[in-house]
Amino acid sequence: MFRLGGDILGLGMDTRQALLDRARHAFAERGYAATSLEDLARGLGLTKAAVYHHFASKRELLEALLEESFQKADRALEQGETLEERLLSYALAYRDQIEPLTALMTAQSGRRGGDQQAARVALEAMSRGLVRLQQSLEQAVPGQGQPLAAIFASIVHGAYMMARHLPGYELEGMLRTGVQLFVRGLPAPPV
């Protein structure tokens, strides 16, 4: 591939966005600790200097991904008229994003005990996302925002982990069912 101006020919996107997309995929596949900036650059046909032009470190790249994910999830909480529609939009917003809990776990792994600053960044992003979710749920059920946010986040994260690691689990269907159960409760058993 050739780099021309800000575009990477063949990818149709600017270099910064191409790096974010490549890192998102690599972090999800191999984990934060096992992904190097050199691998990311090589995979895009760039020099390591081109990566450093956009991100001073791998941690800064992680921060950018987490911020992008937070913004997308935050916007999703505003989409839809009902709580169920907003929560489904929020749950689906994590698709193809870097999820803070996964980033936290993979940042703590590695040969030298992991990158503790990156783990702190991921933990802060996870807390920030939970607070935003809590605020939204607090409007629907005053006084219950915090526990409901933790439960809902567990449903969403669990669905993503099941779909990623176990055959036969379809993500969108699990998310739709999880959101319905969360908002409506279990259906009454047939009489």
Identify the domain containing residue 147 by its residue range. Answer: 3-184
The reply to whether 131 falls in a domain is yes
- 3-state secondary structure (DSSP) of residue 130: helix
The reply to whether 189 falls in a domain is no
Per residue in 124-142, pLDDT (tens digit) is 888 999 999 999 999 999 9
pLDDT, position 5? 44
Confirm if 44 and 22 have CB atoms less than 8 A apart.
yes
Confirm if 101 and 157 have CB atoms less than 8 A apart.
yes
What DSSP letter does each residue of 49-65 carry, written as one string? HHHHHH-SSHHHHHHHH
* Average pLDDT of span 104-119: 68
Task: Dig out the tokens for 33 from the structure.
Answer: 């600790």
Residue 191 pLDDT exceeds 90:
no
Q: State the CATH number of the domain containing residue 112.
A: 1.10.357.10
pLDDT, position 82? 94
CA nearest to 96, candidates 2, 171, 180: 171
Domain count, the chain: 1
The reply to whether 191 falls in a domain is no
pLDDT, position 138? 95
The reply to whether 28 falls in a domain is yes
* Burial of residue 170 (number of CB atoms within 10 Å: 0-12, 13-18, 19+): exposed
The reply to whether 52 falls in a domain is yes
The reply to whether 63 falls in a domain is yes
pLDDT, position 131? 96
Mean pLDDT over each residue of the chain, to the nearest integer:
85
The reply to whether 190 falls in a domain is no
- 24: which residues sit within 8 A by CB, 6+ positions away? 65, 96, 97, 98
pLDDT, position 33? 82
Taking the model in full, what pTM does it have? 0.79
pLDDT, position 130? 93
End-to-end CA distance of the chain: 64
The reply to whether 55 falls in a domain is yes
Per residue in 53-107, pLDDT (tens digit) is 999 999 999 999 989 989 999 999 998 899 999 999 999 987 767 666 676 677 6
